[in-house]
Amino acid sequence: MALRHPPIDSDAFLTYLRSRIKGQDPILKDLAISLQALESAQRPSRPMASFLFVGPHAVGKSELAKAVADFLFEGRLSYFHCAELNEPWSKARLIGAPVDYIGSEKGGALTRPVLENPRRLFCMEEIQRADPVILDLFGRLLAEGQLTELGSDKIVDFSQCILIFTSGSNAVEVGRIQQEMTDYDEIVKAVEKQSAQSEFFRPLFEGGIDRVFPFRELDAKALAEIALLKFSKMAEKDFGMTVEFISQQLILDLLVSKYQVTTLSVYGFEKFFYDLFADDLITAKENGARGVKLRVGTDGELSVLG
């Protein structure tokens, strides 16, 4: 069977993921290899790939899903937070309402995007919060690779889609396994076994989830690297500037020792840098600068050079 799209270059894919995600390198390697193999298999009656991301909150699960979508699908990504799918009738939101019901012509939020473009990533966050009816729907999708959209009665093919489910519900158990074991493959097997015994995840395993990825707590170095990524994105988005880091290791060390970024959540880094450097960036922009440099001064302080 001919490929319907260029095969995944796992080396280029891994390099890109490493530029976006910090502190989870074993997972990035595993995912790049797994996706290349699953895509090449071209299973017509299954999604291209289905993954379960487990572990603590704010360690990169959702960001990794976004990075995969950006690299493979030009950013075509649909998020569902399963706290909003916690009632049986939430099913209509996903696959559409029956004919003659209000809004039936709009289709479902899960099915209609695939009819418009068959290559897309779906990320279901905190899957354990979904109603059992929704969990069973996802289990059937994993097993059969298709759903029927109510209203239009169209059969929707998910064989070129990636489905990612995330959960922090078993983070304590995952952390315990990671403390007791050092070999990554053994950790994955143990976490898969533990997850498969959970009632929350049962439909996913019965449907044939392809792989479980156990995320770790982020260490200080990873948090500092994420802080720099956030600063770069903030400078580009809000001020239209590129950022060069002078003596990056010194900056990382200073972020940990002096600015204590390890006490921040991942989501707090952008505000941290905005408060610290917004005035400097505004001045640099007013002076016509298109880029700035972040450095550690002789006084041991971070400073921006326009």
Domain extent listing, the chain = 10-214, 220-305
CA proximity to 45, closest of 194, 175, 146: 146
- With a cut of 60, say whether residue 239 has pLDDT above it: yes
- Mean pLDDT in residue range 43-48: 90
pLDDT at 31: 97
Considering the domain 220-305 in this protein, what is its CATH number?
1.10.8
pLDDT at residue 16, rounded to an integer? 97
CATH number for the domain running over 10-214: 3.40.50.300
Q: How far apart are CA 174 and CA 217, in angstroms?
A: 10
Token pair of 297 as six digits: 């001064």
pTM: 0.88
Token pair, residue 221, equals 């170095």
- Checking if the pLDDT of 1 tops 70, the result is no
Query: Helix (H, G, I), strand (E, B), or coil: what is residue 54?
Result: strand
* Residue 306 predicted with pLDDT over 80: no
Query: In this predicted model, what pLDDT tens digit does every residue of 155-168 receive, in sequence order?
Result: 999 999 999 999 99
Distance (Å, whole) CA 277 – CA 275:
6
Cβ(55)–Cβ(168) below 8 Å: yes
